[in-house]
Structure 1
Amino acid sequence: MDETRMNLVEHLGEMRKRIIIILIFFMTFLCLSFLFVKDIHQFLVRDLDDKLALLGPGDILWIYMMIAGVVAIAATIPIAAFQAWHFVKPALKKEEQKATLAFIPGIFFLFLLGISFGYFILFPIVLSFLENLAGDQFEAFFTVDKYFNFMINLTLPFGFLFEMPAVILFLTKLGIINPHLLVKGRKGSYFVLIVISVIISPPDLVSDVLVIVPLLLLYEFSITLSKLVFRKRTEWQIVNDKERVPL
């Protein structure tokens, strides 16, 4: 009992250490991002014909903090993944350590790809659709908080949702899941992804479809990757088992 308790305390201490490191890097990136937040803001509103309106003196500070926060999250993703790898490293074999470490660049790339998809593809389409829906009956008047809240709510979730292939590959590599389980749970996974899509997308059919289709394709792509990793992992285990058989 005492040994188990000591192991638990050690694991919690190690987790606390990793979380503190992640928070330190996040705060550092947040401060650095805030130094360039005006340039980032100008880039994000470059296509707007009119300036965004402020309804209160504190709005711009809140928006600048929100923009800097998103940039800091993106920059912290590989650090967080590396710290998570360090935390589980003692429980992995040497081959698994090398294989899982290789996922970290992919995690960062997929996060950026998801945000890019949301901002450069989905956001302009949805914004244009909603503006055309208003037509000449309404005067378009964007406030800075409404505009950026809409943008971030539509783009940031995709940064995390696009991590699906990397997460599934990682779990397959560790033997926690396999492609047969993913195929068997396809209907349930589809339902969950559709619910998530409806929640994060604006309340119109076009936006729902634009969000649902990429997520379902990502899931199918993840299954394909899982099959490849699972096949290689099985072959590797067979070779190792043969080498262990005494002659």
Structure 2
Amino acid sequence: MSLEAEEMSVVDHLTELRRRIIYVLIVFVAGLIGGLFVAKPIYLYLIHADQAEGFVLHAFSFWDGIGMYMKIAMAVSLAISLPFIVYQLWAFISPGLRPLERSAALRYVPYVFVLFILGIAFAYYIVFPMALSFTITITRSMGLEETYGIAEYFSFMFSLCIPLALLFELPLIVMFLTKLRILNPLRLRRMRRYAYFALVFIAVVITPPDFISDFLVTLPLLVLYEFSVFLSAFVYRKQLAEDAVREARYVKQEEL
């Protein structure tokens, strides 16, 4: 009977997970539709920004314009959906959390959007201009005629901006996992060299092959990691203090 009850519990969990995935898809599609309405003003801003000046963008297929609007709409939808996705993740695992952990983890959700926007801003205003300037300089130094497609331009932009924006969520992820007691500052410090290697590798992959660009992207990522360790230590110290209070209360009840 216990095995049957356990199987039912697994089925219930999978049903709950499917329901929350459907919710996420509904919000993402709604954000995608809303993103299409704001795609044109965003496009006009991006196309008239300093990064886009100095060359003309071309459409090489009938679908380039629609594809560009869809990329912008998907980025908008991702920014809108990300906090909801995190909330649904929290709602799925919250029954297994203690009330204090449940309320503390819920407070992280609004900051998901803030960090995503900060990551987008950092990538677009700092990393993307460097990468674009470097590639254009190389092209012109080779004497090549510049003919840029709009699809390639926005693909290049989003391939830099979206991964960096997601990497800016690292402090929140670390705090959340520390709250669940999956990570702690001691473990993060022990794996620092591997984390540094992974972050440097990511920075090298998404930036032009020159030392300055690599350095300017790697440095903020390493700072983000160290900031994550600091936040993990802050959460961990609070957990130890709460455990000490709980243990002292338990000992006192035993003595009575």
The correspondence for 2:43, drawn from 41, 44, 69, is: 41
Number of aligned residue pairs: 247
Secondary structure at 2:58's aligned position in 1?
Answer: coil
**Equivalent residue in structure 2 for 1:15, among 11, 14, 17:** 17
| Alignment of 1:152 onto 2:154 | no
Residue 3 of structure 1 aligns with which residue?
5
Structure 1 residue 167 displacement after superposition:
0.4
| The one of 177, 182, 186 aligned to 1:176 | 182
Identity of aligned residues (%): 40
Residues in 1 aligned to 2:40 and 2:133: alpha-carbon distance in whole angstroms: 25
Equivalent residues of 2:131, 2:207 under 8 A apart = no
Say which is worse superposed, 204-213 or 31-40, in terms of deviation: 204-213
Report deviation, 1:234.
Answer: 0.6
Residue 227 (structure 2) aligns with: 221
Structure-1 separation of matches of 2:61 and 2:210: 30
CA–CA distance in 1 between the matches of 2:126 and 2:192? 27
Deviations 1:76-113 (A, max 9, x none): 00110111111011001111111000010112211111
> Which residue of 1 is the match for residue 118 of structure 2?
113
My pick for the range that moved more, 49-58 or 25-34, is: 49-58
Q: Which residue of 2 aligns with 1:132?
A: 137
- Is the 2:127–2:207 Cα contact (8 Å) retained in structure 1? no
Q: Distance in 1 between matches of 2:116 and 2:234?
A: 22
Q: Which TM-score applies when normalising by structure 2?
A: 0.92
Residue 56, structure 1, aligned to residue 58, structure 2: no
Secondary structure of the corresponding residue to residue 36 of structure 1: helix
Deviation string 1:103-148 (CA, Å, 9 cap, x unpaired) is 1011221111111110111111221233233346333332101110
Do 2:135 and 2:208's aligned partners in 1 also have CA atoms closer than 8 Å? no
Q: Following the alignment from structure 1 to structure 2, what is the Cα–Cα distance between the partners of residues 131 and 179?
A: 43
Larger displacement relative to structure 2 (24-33 or 190-199): 190-199
- How big is the shift at 1:239? 1.0
Q: Which runs of 4+ in 1 moved over 6 A?
A: none
Letter in 2 for 1:18: R
Per the TM alignment, residue 173 of structure 1 is displaced from its structure 2 partner at its CA by 1.2
Q: Aligned-pair distance for 1:217? A: 1.1
> Partner amino acid for 2:126?
I
Deviations 1:32-58 (A, max 9, x none): 111221111111111233441111111
Judge which range, 67-76 or 198-207, deviates more: 198-207
How much is the aligned-residue C-alpha RMSD, in angstroms? 1.4
The one of 147, 156, 164 equivalent to 1:141 is: 147
Unaligned runs of 5+ in 2: none
Q: Separation in 2 of the partners of 1:192 and 1:14?
A: 34
Deviation at 1:163, TM superposition (A): 0.7
How far apart, CA to CA, are the structure 2 residues paired with 1:161 and 1:189?
Answer: 13
Q: Distance in 1 between matches of 2:57 and 2:77?
A: 24
